[in-house]
Structure 1
């Protein structure tokens, strides 16, 4: 039987299948029937190869039997010599030494021992006779860089494919979509589970997971939303974003009012910190004015009564209510048909009626007014009818006395008090004092207006007494120090801590945290023990928290400044004390050194400053945020805090006149005294918190609202206009030959001349804003006298003289008879304002009895060239103001003449 040649197929370095455990290699070595390549060594030169075989080296192997394929940049390698190497001292076995024409690159090559008849194409290579086809080839690397940092072992040929990622619906964002997503997934993973009843444990778990996912999804969206000012929806987030651009979001402001206390007889002294002024709750329109007890006070608080508390002026702690100051007559010196004219800053009050004795000067005075007291002038009778019901409620005005002088009427011995007040509180209307009734009554009636003393400045808000939560202090857990470091030791030193805490009528809390020890814990070393707080934020109970700006620091500040409000300067009204339990949990008020002060922010607070910030959330709750140890002091774990907030804020405190009619004491009672409070003037100043829309609108441009330097002429004019008492300003940049000079023109309010003190003050203030290289000069406005002639036709039924007098009153440079400024009043004419003929005609036509008006002359008195300007408009320069005083003693100050016709 003849032998049949068996084809073994082509060979290569990637035989199939790929196996991790090469058991065939050992079988070949033991059988000795087939030969093959065991491994290949690369010499130092890179061109010499030593091929180790399972068996001996065939003698017939030559260059034609060695084939090399592969390579990236260097390809086409071939052998130049092949010979067996018999050197046992260099190798453990005999190898086949192959010299190549050049060295290969870093990519893998495939070295094969093939039959010489094999073609050039590697896909046609056949194993050398007697060689196993799976080991006729070997992978060859000329450069091995893996051994330096990583393992050179080959990766397993069979890698388990990665599990398929579950198909996730990324549009699922709410509870319903998450629940459906989980049910769909369970249908794939557990297809046999088809239960859909609500009590099923699987459904319950899915719904719990859906709820959690819904919550996390909302939180994820909220974080991205609150990261930008335009999209933020939470009030605290918007407040912090606005602060980054130097814009302070305000939380509103409480209202202020003036309350007059009326006493029937005698006098009584009341402590200011115990007084409460109330408006009756809604629905009690028939409430009687007077004092109420603690039971009625508690009921009024529950029913929503607006509560006001006195404000201490210049450190006052009490007020003495004098019966004689409940209604004070104004002295008319025996004259009739009197009034206190508009703009008055002083008055004479009747202290005691006249007597027939010569020792009237030595009589006891009833009034005890002094400088700094508040006074309210009030019209109590109608000037036309003499009836109290016809009194004008708008004719009520409050002043703060700047001077009080005792005097006597030498004619009849009446004891008097001459009082004066600041020009800022000048009377804004004519206050009628005495009248005469119309015929046929013709009675003389005095005391049409009175002055009210015993006046308190009050503001909206009430200190609500709370209840301290004392669970941890009264029943501390066994491991209380783990959450509140040092509390067990503090409680051991204070045996009555629980009783003190339960008696504390304030909000209180303990700061949680842990104890951390430093690295120095060896014997004899001083340990570093830290008590970092876990969470220092606290939410105050009750809404809305009162916000109020402090009173002016100026002693004796007038009413106009006491009632002027700046909502952005308002601070939260609460007292916060914090420190160790022994120092804070005391009877009464802790030491002032333990008090924490509220600030708009902590950017300027040092690491030892006891400061905190109050942030109001969307529900009106107040969050206290303390420092971190760098910007503001950080509370320590285990510290005890107590806070007494004040509740009441916003427009709710803007109650009407005569609505604050109840008086109560915060604690204790006052018997035998009937005091009736009343607010003759409405409360004012209460404003709502700034809305989020307003903050988003104004905050981006807030940094432009406070310029720091004057660059152009308008900047100098703007800074000069900030000076009190300045009505208008203008500025031009004039070249002096070497530099520019900012010539600032000032028009003062209520006068034509510029006081030297005001000019110096403006010049000194502009020095802070002056641009380098600019000079500043402050000048008074240039008044241009005008000559005006008007031809007026009067109706036949009117007296010409009366109409002319009315026209002169209309076109005066002072106040008209009705108290309004005249047409040429300095406060009506501003810098550069032109004079229009049509405005003159309209003003004259407003006079009753005028039928027709023509302007025959309108020109400058200094260098006028024509009687009438072109277009009917007389233009003035930027620094000029028209002047028509119509004063016969000063014809150079301009004048106006009326040519009258018609009438009778």
Structure 2
């Protein structure tokens, strides 16, 4: 998970050292070379120094060693305060050390093994059953990281290697459009240039050009009506969207009608405004309405003001879940345990919030918080805040605790790795300058103390309460007036684009024949769904998952009910899977966004009865119109306003709305649908299973193997997962569910991981004059690493660079090594007087260096991690000659 904070000061250590009630670990030493003089084993004795005198009751039960890669269970044989070590222990080797004046500040720990090269953590605990620190020991300074191999020789800096940036995304598709009107216009103008060469006017305002365009318009419609029946019969010539959709369906291509967008909205409550509920959608009512800014107006709209705002062009969004407002959740401060200059590092999944007077008691798992940089990290001005440093997370853990050292109530929060922080967030406080010209409308009213001592009201600034600033003269706040650079915001609501229209009465149902009623308004909203029903968002998933869905999950937002409150019809993509009693419908959207409704025929789907009067409830608003920018949503609707106007301080969307997609054009369908018909949607042979498994976004390569398992055939799918991630039980279940739609009846599916082949490579490298051999070796190890490099490149042995059956060529390795600055030549020859190797790890050489490659079988993948703690995953070394 990594560090919680990266701090540039040691204030916590200073506070513990100065405290009379708390003790803590100062540092830890591993007894290595000096152990020989004392007559004890090397790397098995740990000296732990504390700030103050230790109680003499500490023993092995109070010490726990965690971590490790190869050796994880490092046990504690004994642990004594230095002056309490029994005389007979280690033959009395400690008698001389016990005379030290600070012997009571040292804890000596003896382990049962020397560990590996990874980082371990020594933890001080109350007992074997209680993992909390002993009484009187600080929470943070009761554990310390260390390594048993600290005195092992190394040529490099101990700083951790930096990871490279993520790979770039795929380029968007290009939209190709065609128009018949332009061809008629060009034909008429070309004809006129022949019969009347003296007329050369082409200005759109000219009467002759206007007449040409009118006739081209009429010709376009005449040609359509003349060939309507014939053109709609073929995909290549059909012009109506409904016709193209049905043709594409015959080719197993699901044409989509776009999708609405989603956004995160923060509702900041007035002081003391608790308990106000934002309602989510139900089967009969929409969620709370939020609107974008058009003209200046109130934050909370009533019914008449809503009508005006919609007429002015405001985009309407509706909440997707219930939410309760808490005014203390509007802005929550991070807690850094007394440290300053702290940052929440990139990739963080935990943090701590300050909980003074238990104001965050309503914080719970499942709520969404939005982290935001609100001021410049150096200037303290709101306008200098980086708007890209805003990120939502859904809480998966909320623990109320305290900092006994400083006497502060705090809340430890955590969130899913999918919501990991994508940037570094600064958490320190800065001096806030007062600039009246840039004060926001939501700032409190300011009382400015004049030089004569008479307070005066600053005009043009309104708010819920006064803030007294002494000093006067407009020179800013007095020293010590600080505010946080970044805050966490609660009261976050997920909204999606679209406004609900209720109770539209459809045309009467005829006794016989087709029933195709048309909706009066459009465009019909198409909403992505993950849980079905009106509630189209999974509140248990991460915040990132709430903004991610597939176009296959998008359905029209429409529901039909009988006028007397009886049966309900729900939307589907097709009626081919509907039973004769299924009350389902298909909404076929035309180019103007309005939809016609298609019902079943009592064979596939139920047909409404002629005595039924259907009422339609549907939403309008779709496509990229809902992809509004950040800070665009600023108002919400309440039927009467009332107390809501005194409860809501501000409504805003810190992040832009995303996900809005325009309906697929007819030209795109004509291009894509014939190709979709040629895509295999069933897996029969081994190659078929390999191909369909590679459609999963986490699979780089797959190989199918059909075997008879005694009772039936089983298809074993061996998977090379992207990034070298393991093929564990969770991923195997996910991939098996993905392959289920392609599986041949009567065949079982089993998911297997690849057979990794570790490599053992040693080469001799001659360094050019003027280059440090250690620097050149460090560059070589970086080039041949298995990670993403800081400059965006991949290491030579990155897991995604090799797959099943792909050999490792010696020539490519030599070429990559020669490209490193400072390398004069590389020797790979294997002989008795040379240490070079080019072979599989743990196996004898088969003269692979002569062949120039190490071959792999069909289920084998080359691997070389060069991890000293796990040499069985491959190792690499360079024998350096020459240089400095």
TM-score (norm 2): 0.59
Hey, what does 1:266 align to over in structure 2?
272
Hey, what does 1:248 align to over in structure 2?
254
- Provide Cα deviations, 1:262-314, integer angstroms capped at 9, x if missing partner: 22422341332563222224xx6xx68944555553333123222211112xx
1:451 aligns with 2:488: yes
Hey, what does 1:543 align to over in structure 2?
522
User: Shift of residue 648 of structure 1?
Assistant: 0.7
- Provide Cα deviations, 1:43-64, integer angstroms capped at 9, x if missing partner: xxxxxxxxxxxxxxxxxxxxxx
SS at match of 1:224: helix
* 8 Å Cα contact 2:328-2:359 kept in structure 1: no
**Equivalences for 1:809-848 in 2 at 5 Å?**
809=782, 811-814=784-787, 822-827=795-800, 829-835=802-808
* 8 Å Cα contact 2:370-2:392 kept in structure 1: yes
User: Shift of residue 461 of structure 1?
Assistant: 0.7
- Of 387, 396, 400, 2:394 maps to 400
SS at match of 1:243: helix
Hey, what does 2:648 align to over in structure 1?
674
* 8 Å Cα contact 1:260-1:453 kept in structure 2: yes
Q: How many Å separate the matches in 2 of 1:434 and 1:853? A: 49
Hey, what does 1:279 align to over in structure 2?
292
SS at match of 2:271: coil
Q: How many Å separate the matches in 2 of 1:701 and 1:416? A: 58
- Comparing 303-312 with 738-747, greater Cα deviation is found at 738-747
Hey, what does 1:142 align to over in structure 2?
none
Hey, what does 1:663 align to over in structure 2?
636
1:782 aligns with 2:794: no
1:650 aligns with 2:654: no
- Of 235, 243, 247, 2:241 maps to 235
- The alpha-carbon distance between structure 1 residues 839 and 294, as it changes in their structure 2 partners (threshold 3 A), is farther
- The alpha-carbon distance between structure 1 residues 562 and 768, as it changes in their structure 2 partners (threshold 3 A), is closer
1:563 aligns with 2:536: no
**Equivalences for 1:605-624 in 2 at 5 Å?**
605-624=578-597
**Equivalences for 1:146-545 in 2 at 5 Å?**
219=225, 221-268=227-274, 269-272=276-279, 273=286, 275-281=288-294, 290-292=299-301, 294-312=303-321, 316=322, 319-352=323-356, 363-382=357-376, 388-434=382-428, 447-464=484-501, 506-511=503-508, 513=510, 532-533=511-512, 536-545=515-524
- The alpha-carbon distance between structure 1 residues 367 and 720, as it changes in their structure 2 partners (threshold 3 A), is same
User: Shift of residue 417 of structure 1?
Assistant: 1.5
1:886 aligns with 2:866: yes
- Provide Cα deviations, 1:71-125, integer angstroms capped at 9, x if missing partner: xxxxxxxxxxxxxxxxxxxxxxxxxxxxxxxxxxxxxxxxxxxxxxxxxxxxxxx
- Of 698, 715, 724, 2:688 maps to 715
* 8 Å Cα contact 2:838-2:849 kept in structure 1: yes
SS at match of 2:355: strand
- The alpha-carbon distance between structure 1 residues 215 and 778, as it changes in their structure 2 partners (threshold 3 A), is closer
1:687 aligns with 2:671: no
Q: How many Å separate the matches in 1 of 2:483 and 2:861? A: 45
Q: How many Å separate the matches in 2 of 1:795 and 1:460? A: 66
- The alpha-carbon distance between structure 1 residues 340 and 396, as it changes in their structure 2 partners (threshold 3 A), is same
TM-score (norm 1): 0.58
- The alpha-carbon distance between structure 1 residues 819 and 215, as it changes in their structure 2 partners (threshold 3 A), is closer
- The alpha-carbon distance between structure 1 residues 372 and 606, as it changes in their structure 2 partners (threshold 3 A), is same
Q: How many Å separate the matches in 2 of 1:815 and 1:637? A: 66
- The alpha-carbon distance between structure 1 residues 795 and 230, as it changes in their structure 2 partners (threshold 3 A), is farther
Q: How many Å separate the matches in 2 of 1:897 and 1:743? A: 37
- Comparing 735-744 with 555-564, greater Cα deviation is found at 735-744
Unaligned stretches of 5+ in structure 2? 1-183, 185-219, 280-285, 432-479, 533-537, 829-836
**Larger Rg: 1 or 2?**
1
- Comparing 664-673 with 674-683, greater Cα deviation is found at 664-673
Q: How many Å separate the matches in 1 of 2:849 and 2:824? A: 15
* 8 Å Cα contact 1:252-1:689 kept in structure 2: yes
Q: How many Å separate the matches in 1 of 2:645 and 2:709? A: 79
Q: How many Å separate the matches in 2 of 1:881 and 1:387? A: 54
Q: How many Å separate the matches in 2 of 1:763 and 1:297? A: 49
Q: How many Å separate the matches in 1 of 2:709 and 2:604? A: 50
Q: How many Å separate the matches in 1 of 2:382 and 2:768? A: 41
Q: How many Å separate the matches in 1 of 2:822 and 2:394? A: 48
User: Shift of residue 794 of structure 1?
Assistant: 7.6
User: Shift of residue 547 of structure 1?
Assistant: 0.5
Q: How many Å separate the matches in 2 of 1:664 and 1:884? A: 60
Q: How many Å separate the matches in 1 of 2:339 and 2:667? A: 60
Q: How many Å separate the matches in 2 of 1:878 and 1:664? A: 63
User: Shift of residue 875 of structure 1?
Assistant: 5.4
* 8 Å Cα contact 2:302-2:639 kept in structure 1: no
* 8 Å Cα contact 2:259-2:554 kept in structure 1: yes
* 8 Å Cα contact 1:435-1:448 kept in structure 2: yes
User: Shift of residue 772 of structure 1?
Assistant: 8.3
Q: How many Å separate the matches in 1 of 2:611 and 2:711? A: 69
- Comparing 860-869 with 401-410, greater Cα deviation is found at 860-869
Q: How many Å separate the matches in 2 of 1:278 and 1:790? A: 68
Unaligned stretches of 5+ in structure 1? 1-173, 175-213, 353-362, 438-442, 465-504, 514-531, 584-590
User: Shift of residue 455 of structure 1?
Assistant: 0.8
- Provide Cα deviations, 1:776-804, integer angstroms capped at 9, x if missing partner: 665432222231547475895x8765665
Q: How many Å separate the matches in 2 of 1:635 and 1:883? A: 63
Q: How many Å separate the matches in 2 of 1:770 and 1:634? A: 34
Hey, what does 2:196 align to over in structure 1?
none
SS at match of 1:402: strand
What do you get for the CA RMSD once the two structures are aligned? 4.3
Q: How many Å separate the matches in 1 of 2:505 and 2:626? A: 28
User: Shift of residue 457 of structure 1?
Assistant: 0.7
* 8 Å Cα contact 1:792-1:898 kept in structure 2: no
User: Shift of residue 727 of structure 1?
Assistant: 4.5
**Equivalences for 1:741-780 in 2 at 5 Å?**
743-751=716-724, 753-755=726-728, 758=731, 778-780=751-753
* 8 Å Cα contact 1:800-1:902 kept in structure 2: yes
User: Shift of residue 459 of structure 1?
Assistant: 0.5
SS at match of 1:619: coil
- The alpha-carbon distance between structure 1 residues 236 and 325, as it changes in their structure 2 partners (threshold 3 A), is same
- The alpha-carbon distance between structure 1 residues 399 and 818, as it changes in their structure 2 partners (threshold 3 A), is farther
Hey, what does 2:673 align to over in structure 1?
699
- Provide Cα deviations, 1:581-607, integer angstroms capped at 9, x if missing partner: xx2xxxxxxx3x332212222223334
* 8 Å Cα contact 1:654-1:686 kept in structure 2: yes
- Provide Cα deviations, 1:8-50, integer angstroms capped at 9, x if missing partner: xxxxxxxxxxxxxxxxxxxxxxxxxxxxxxxxxxxxxxxxxxx
SS at match of 1:677: strand
- The alpha-carbon distance between structure 1 residues 404 and 698, as it changes in their structure 2 partners (threshold 3 A), is same
- The alpha-carbon distance between structure 1 residues 301 and 898, as it changes in their structure 2 partners (threshold 3 A), is farther
